């Protein structure tokens, strides 16, 4: 591990204290736009994870017994603290993950919204008085927090993802140990400082960075961890689901996507092309809801291809902290190589490059992980990127003739996170929207996220929802109280 003593030394949050790893080791986090080191990060392992679970388990009785209204006060105070540091943390998101500053600001806003919305929503976690068929008895249900939760998050939404999990968990009365992705650990440790500043009671939320499998293993094997909430690849999700089976732990899984985007010939062409471009190149294509398969009806295929390629060529790509930049680097060189592989495979099978198709050229890009916004037409359905998540700025365009045909094509993959339809015919939009095997469908709209709305997938895209009322249910158990009454 390379070390640079002049870099800021970040700290984990365990039991209310900012801590280094038990091993004393650190690793260096870097900026994907220029390869510069940013900070030293504690390289925690199972020992640190165990201390964090000890703290979360010790904090649970008092935190879960607080009234929802009292917990709401803590969460609003946390939201206030995050608001005060939003610009600083947005900059860290950009420098560590690469996304343009305006996208990072959006993440901060969603984080604050999630805290405030769940602070209030948990106050409405009602039970029920159930009409009882048996005389002399009453049936009552009560919502109770699940217990200690382990959360594992990916690098592509490094700030908002923390709060998509922590806000409903804490609001419900759970306590949490959170493990961020290696690549974006500095963001999480900046957020850990905010937890400490807001004086969230010790142990209620803990942040442990370092060795993923060792920390994950503590979540899987420690009986006190009652739930695992994971966002990341389907492969790791599958591994965690298998591991969670031993102790029958509750799980929420937000896994990969392979979103179909369907442009019918009766769409509003200008608005649809703008929307598809912004969806495709959002976070340099590194979004689980990103456009993976773009199906265009044959009569408008050539025009859409040409205009999307023009758009891609005109995009300002660069360091996301610079004004006017609309697309930043990929997260690391491994990601660039994966995109190169997928493009080479598609071109080898007959796809035609209409824009991009290579790393960005020029001095400004030399030290960063930049891949050019790319548009490909005539992509055969045998290309790997038809069935795999691209996770890069590559728009692959396919053609179709009829509505029935495209519904079959769209559904003919193992994933089902998001899907998008562009048409001015509302009958068609509703008809097709209802048939798509997908947790979320955008109709002439590509922005799906809101604190108020349930986000999640079907099929191999996952289990459970984040956001909305459903997002709170993930952290609550329903307890039945059967009470004998002398009538």
Query: Whose Cβ is closer to ligand ADP: residue 245's or residue 271's?
Result: 245
**In the bound complex, what is the minimum distance in angstroms from residue 161's beta carbon to ligand ADP?**
10
Nearest to 277 by CA among 353, 355, 381: 355
Query: Whose Cβ is closer to ligand ADP: residue 216's or residue 471's?
Result: 216
Regarding 216 and contact with ligand ADP (CB under 6 A), the answer is: yes
**In the bound complex, what is the minimum distance in angstroms from residue 51's beta carbon to ligand ADP?**
18
Nearest to 96 by CA among 331, 433, 309, 290: 331
Per CB under 6 A, contacts with ligand ADP among 69-108 are: none
Among 106, 145, 154, 318, contact with ligand ADP (rule: CB under 6 A): 154
Nearest to 145 by CA among 403, 479, 483: 479
Nearest to 322 by CA among 353, 365, 287: 365
Segment interacting with ligand ADP (CB under 6 A) among 146-154, 189-197, 291-299, 428-436:
146-154
Nearest to 291 by CA among 399, 162, 391: 391
Cα distance between residue 403 and residue 149, in whole Å: 44
Residues 82 and 167 sit within 8 Å (Cβ to Cβ): no
Q: How many residues line the site for ligand ADP (CB under 6 A)?
A: 13
Helix (H) or strand (E) holding 115: helix 101-121
Residue nearest to ligand ADP (CB): 216
Query: Whose Cβ is closer to ligand ADP: residue 384's or residue 469's?
Result: 384
Read off the tokens for 26.
Answer: 């650190």
Among 52, 93, 110, 236, contact with ligand ADP (rule: CB under 6 A): 236
Query: Whose Cβ is closer to ligand ADP: residue 369's or residue 429's?
Result: 369
SS3 state at 349: coil
**In the bound complex, what is the minimum distance in angstroms from residue 157's beta carbon to ligand ADP?**
11
State the burial class of residue 252 (Cβ atoms within 10 Å of its Cβ: 0-12, 13-18, 19+): buried
Binding marks (x or -) toward ligand ADP, 16..45, rule CB under 6 A? ------------------------------
Regarding 429 and contact with ligand ADP (CB under 6 A), the answer is: no
**In the bound complex, what is the minimum distance in angstroms from residue 487's beta carbon to ligand ADP?**
54
Q: In Å, what is the CA distance from 302 to each residue of 28, 295, 306, 374?
A: 47, 12, 6, 16
Residues 320 and 337 sit within 8 Å (Cβ to Cβ): no
DSSP class per residue in 300-313? HHHHHHHHHHHHHH
**In the bound complex, what is the minimum distance in angstroms from residue 219's beta carbon to ligand ADP?**
7
**In the bound complex, what is the minimum distance in angstroms from residue 235's beta carbon to ligand ADP?**
7
Cα distance between residue 198 and residue 436, in whole Å: 43
Regarding 152 and contact with ligand ADP (CB under 6 A), the answer is: yes
Residues 79 and 222 sit within 8 Å (Cβ to Cβ): no
Query: Whose Cβ is closer to ligand ADP: residue 31's or residue 209's?
Result: 209
**In the bound complex, what is the minimum distance in angstroms from residue 158's beta carbon to ligand ADP?**
10
Q: Which distant-in-sequence residues (6+ apart) come within 8 Å of 224 by Cβ? A: 53, 56, 57, 147, 148
Read off the tokens for 63.
Answer: 């935190």
Query: Whose Cβ is closer to ligand ADP: residue 184's or residue 305's?
Result: 184
Query: Whose Cβ is closer to ligand ADP: residue 91's or residue 239's?
Result: 239
Query: Whose Cβ is closer to ligand ADP: residue 28's or residue 443's?
Result: 28
Segment interacting with ligand ADP (CB under 6 A) among 103-111, 114-122, 229-237, 275-283:
229-237
Binding marks (x or -) toward ligand ADP, 365..384, rule CB under 6 A? --------------------
Strands (E), 185-258: 205-207, 225-231, 250-254
Q: How many residues does the structure list for the chain?
A: 487
Buried b / exposed e over 357-379, threshold 16 CB at 10 Å, is: bebbeeeebeebbbbbbbbbbbb
Query: Whose Cβ is closer to ligand ADP: residue 216's or residue 467's?
Result: 216
SS3 state at 477: strand
Segment interacting with ligand ADP (CB under 6 A) among 126-134, 187-195, 211-219, 373-381:
211-219
Among 232, 320, 356, 464, contact with ligand ADP (rule: CB under 6 A): 232
Nearest to 123 by CA among 74, 88, 90, 59: 74
- Rounded to 10 degrees, what is the CA torsion of 241, 245, 248, 253? 10
Segment interacting with ligand ADP (CB under 6 A) among 24-32, 175-183, 304-312, 349-357:
175-183
Among 3, 67, 87, 213, contact with ligand ADP (rule: CB under 6 A): 213
Read off the tokens for 155.
Answer: 């690098």
Query: Whose Cβ is closer to ligand ADP: residue 433's or residue 462's?
Result: 462
Which active-site residues does the annotation give? Answer: 254, 288
Among 10, 101, 115, 181, contact with ligand ADP (rule: CB under 6 A): 181
Binding marks (x or -) toward ligand ADP, 237..256, rule CB under 6 A? --x-----------------
Contacts with ligand ADP by CB under 6 A lie at: 152-154, 179, 181-182, 212-213, 216, 232-233, 236, 239
């Amino acid at each position: 591990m390379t070390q640079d003593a002049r870099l800021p030394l970040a700290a984990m949050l365990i039991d209310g204290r900012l801590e280094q790893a038990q091993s004393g080791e650190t690793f260096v986090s870097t900026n994907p736009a220029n390869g510069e080191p940013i900070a030293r990060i504690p390289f925690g392992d199972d020992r640190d994870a165990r201390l964090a679970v000890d703290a979360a388990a010790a904090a649970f009785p008092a935190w879960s017994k607080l009234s929802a209204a009292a917990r709401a006060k803590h969460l609003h105070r946390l939201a206030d603290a995050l608001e005060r540091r939003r610009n600083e943390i947005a900059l860290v998101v950009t420098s560590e993950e690469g996304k343009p500053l305006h996208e990072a600001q959006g993440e901060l806003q969603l984080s604050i919204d999630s805290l405030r919305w769940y602070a209030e929503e948990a106050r409405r976690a009602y039970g029920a008085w159930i009409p009882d068929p048996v005389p002399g008895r009453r049936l009552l249900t009560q919502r109770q927090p699940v217990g200690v939760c382990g959360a594992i998050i990916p690098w592509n939404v490094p700030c908002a993802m923390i709060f998509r999990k922590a806000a409903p968990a804490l609001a419900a009365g759970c306590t949490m140990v959170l493990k961020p992705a290696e690549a974006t650990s500095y963001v999480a440790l900046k957020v850990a400082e905010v937890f400490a500043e807001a004086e969230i009671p010790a142990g209620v939320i803990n942040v442990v960075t370092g060795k993923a499998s060792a920390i994950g293993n503590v979540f899987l094997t420690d009986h006190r961890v009652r739930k695992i909430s994971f966002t990341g690849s389907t492969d790791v999700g599958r591994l965690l689901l298998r591991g969670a089976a031993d102790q029958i732990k509750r799980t929420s899984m937000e896994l990969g996507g392979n979103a179909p985007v369907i442009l019918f010939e009766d769409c509003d062409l200008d608005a649809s092309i703008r929307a598809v471009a912004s969806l495709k190149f959002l976070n340099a294509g590194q979004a689980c809801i990103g456009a993976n398969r773009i199906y265009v009806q044959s009569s408008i295929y050539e025009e859409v291809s040409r205009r999307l390629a023009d758009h891609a060529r005109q995009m300002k790509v660069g360091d996301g902290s610079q004004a006017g930049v609309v697309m930043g680097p990929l997260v690391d060189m491994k990601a660039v190589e994966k995109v190169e592989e997928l493009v080479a495979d598609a071109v080898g099978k007959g796809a035609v490059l209409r824009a991009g198709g290579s790393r960005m050229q020029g001095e400004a890009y030399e030290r960063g992980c930049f891949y050019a916004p790319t548009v490909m037409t005539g992509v055969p359905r045998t290309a790997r990127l038809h069935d795999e998540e691209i996770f890069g700025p590559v728009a692959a365009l396919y053609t179709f003739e009829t509505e029935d045909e495209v519904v079959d094509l769209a559904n003919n993959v193992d994933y089902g996170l998001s899907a998008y339809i562009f048409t001015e015919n509302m009958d068609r939009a509703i008809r097709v929207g209802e048939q798509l095997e997908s947790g979320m469908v955008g109709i002439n709209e590509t922005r799906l996220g809101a604190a108020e709305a349930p986000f999640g997938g079907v099929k191999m895209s996952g289990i459970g929802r984040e956001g909305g009322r459903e997002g709170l249910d993930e952290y609550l158990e329903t307890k039945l109280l059967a009470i004998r009454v002398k009538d």
